[in-house]
Amino acid sequence: MLDLARQYATIRAEALAAIERVCSSQHYILGEEVEAFEHELADFCGTALAVGCNSGTDALWLALLAAGAGPGDSVITTPFSFFASASAIVRAGARPVFVDVDPHTLNLDPTLVEAHLRTGKSTRQRALLPVHLYGQCAPMDVLQRIADEFQLALVEDAAQAIGASWNGRRAGSMGATAAFSFYPSKNLSAYGDAGVVTTNNPDFAARMRRLRNHGSPSRYLHEEFGWNSRLDAIQAAVLRVKLPHVETWNRQRRERAATYDRLFTQSGLTSATSDAPIRVLATTPQAHHVFHQYVIRARRRDDLRQFLANRKIGSEVYYPIPLHLQPVFAHLGYTEGDLPEAEHAAREVLAIPMFPELTDDEQQWVVESIAEFYS
């Protein structure tokens, strides 16, 4: 599914030298290395500022608080994402409101977001939190227009989308704040947990710098309740080694995705007929997709997954249970059938091996195996 050792082999010397640099400095938390990474990452995303923290989950929490979400507020988001997209809303003290996804991309459907807001059903709507799922940006121009009209802060969950863009604007540069994760499987990944929030707003950045350090603007002075969400210098140093490679790695992912597209078309598995066993998710023309995952919708998905596993081909289901049906959100009152596209997708999606160093032969073997399953 993902062979991180192949990437490590290409940057081992540089990464170890960076770790050694931190150990020699004996400065492990925040400090120069983190500040340098924050500058480089902000440049990469096209934002004025970036605030490092210890995970994508904490980045979302900081991004929401800085954008003004808090107790009593509602935040609209997608039900088809990793749990943190919604749990961070709860951690910020607000209430998630789920709106269904576009079945072609599985990103938040802006038409439904607008329809929901026009019903005037939820109160104290504060923010809109689209997730750039699988490395493809949500339709940010329409979402921005909706956010402006209804005076909502736009907070991007860009955890899966470093280097992606929408109409030429980079993920992370479109919202009031945007959260990234550098979890080891991400397109830009640390050697442990790490995250960052990007923003153009200096007040938001200053608040997040306090919040990530126990609400403390200076030593032993605490102005509000934050938490320990600091980024450590070893992770920042590793991320600084990897950041200059991200564009190349993303280009290789896009080439791998094009190869899968071609192989699926040639195999006939994705024919336009209604009984085609496989459907590939759509890439929107405005989106520069960075393929954090390559995801198909498959008939008899679970049997296919087992068949592939028997051949030692990795695959994953992102995500088997939509967020509105998670037990922990039962109190929100959603029931099965409320968000049919997300529920349908949860039964069909399958992510197949995708990483820059994947070979043509391996991709061929994956598609041949899928074809054999359906033959």
Ligand X SMILES: Cc1ncc(COP(=O)(O)O)c(C=O)c1O
Kindly provide the residue ranges of all beta strands, DSSP E only, lying in the chain, ordered along the sequence: 49-53, 74-77, 95-98, 125-129, 153-157, 165-166, 169-170, 177-181, 195-199, 278-280, 287-288, 294-298, 349-352
Q: Is the peptide bond before 183 cis (omega within 30 degrees of 0)?
A: no
Q: Going residue by residue from 167 to 206, which x/- string records binding to ligand X, judged by CB under 6 A?
A: --------------x-x---------x-x-----------
CB of 352 to ligand X, least distance (A): 17
105: tokens are 């991309």
Nearer to ligand X, 192 or 314 (CB): 192
Q: Which of 57, 74, 77, 107 binds ligand X (CB under 6 A)?
A: 57
Closest CB 56 distance from ligand X, rounded Å: 2
Select from 26-34, 56-64, 168-176, 216-224 the region that touches ligand X (CB under 6 A): 56-64
Find the binding residues for ligand X in span 333-362 (CB under 6 A): none
> Least Å distance between CB 16 and ligand X?
23
Scan for tokens 């890439």, then name that residue: 283
Stretch that binds ligand X, among 11-19, 55-63, 70-78, 340-348 (CB under 6 A): 55-63
**Residue 100 vs 270, nearer CB to ligand X:** 100
Q: What DSSP string describes 142-194?
A: HHHHHHHHTT-EEEEE-TT-TT-EETTEETTSSSSEEEEE--TTSSS--SS--
Nearer to ligand X, 175 or 277 (CB): 175
Smaller CB distance to ligand X: residue 230 or 367? 230
Closer CB to ligand X, 160 or 315, in the complex? 160
Q: What is the DSSP letter of 218?
A: B
Choosing from 61, 80, 82, 134, the residue that interacts with ligand X (CB under 6 A) is 82
CB 174 within 8 A of CB 166: yes
Closest CA to 165 of 282, 1, 10, 284: 284
- Binds ligand X by CB under 6 A, chosen from 160, 173, 213, 363: 160
Q: Output the smallest distance, CB 219 to ligand X, in A.
A: 27
Identify which of residues 144 and 160 has a Cβ nearer to ligand X in the complex. 160
Q: On the CB side of 67, how many CA atoms lie within 13 Å of its CA? A: 37
Minimal CB distance residue for ligand X = 56
Task: With CA atoms as reference, report the closest residue to 125 among 85, 155, 94.
Answer: 94
Q: Identify which of residues 59 and 358 has a Cβ nearer to ligand X in the complex.
A: 59
Least distance (Å) from ligand X to the CB of residue 105?
14
Output the smallest distance, CB 81 to ligand X, in A. 5
Residue number with CB closer to ligand X (146 or 197) = 197
Site for ligand X in 116-155 (CB under 6 A): 131
Q: How many binding residues for ligand X (CB under 6 A)? A: 16
d(CA 86, CA 144): 20
304 to each of 13, 309, 311, how far by Cα in Å?
A: 40, 9, 11
- CB proximity list for 108: less than 8 A, separation 6 or greater: 77, 78, 99, 101, 102, 130, 131, 138, 143
Give phi and psi for 270, each to the nearest 5.
-110, 25
Q: Does 79 bind ligand X (CB under 6 A)?
A: no
107 binds ligand X (CB under 6 A): no
Nearest residue (CB) to ligand X, 81 versus 107: 81
Q: Say if residues 99 and 112 touch (Cβ distance below 8 Å).
A: yes
Nearer to ligand X, 159 or 197 (CB): 159
Which residues touch 229 (CB under 8 Å, ≥6 apart)?
53, 54, 55, 58, 61, 62, 211, 212, 213
If one asks whether residue 73 binds ligand X (CB under 6 A), the answer comes out as: no
Closest distance of CB 193 from ligand X, Å: 6
Phi/psi zone of residue 125: left (φ > 0), alpha (ψ -120 to 50 degrees), beta?
beta
Binding residues (CB under 6 A) for ligand X: these are: 55-57, 60, 81-82, 84-85, 131, 157, 159-160, 181, 183, 193, 195
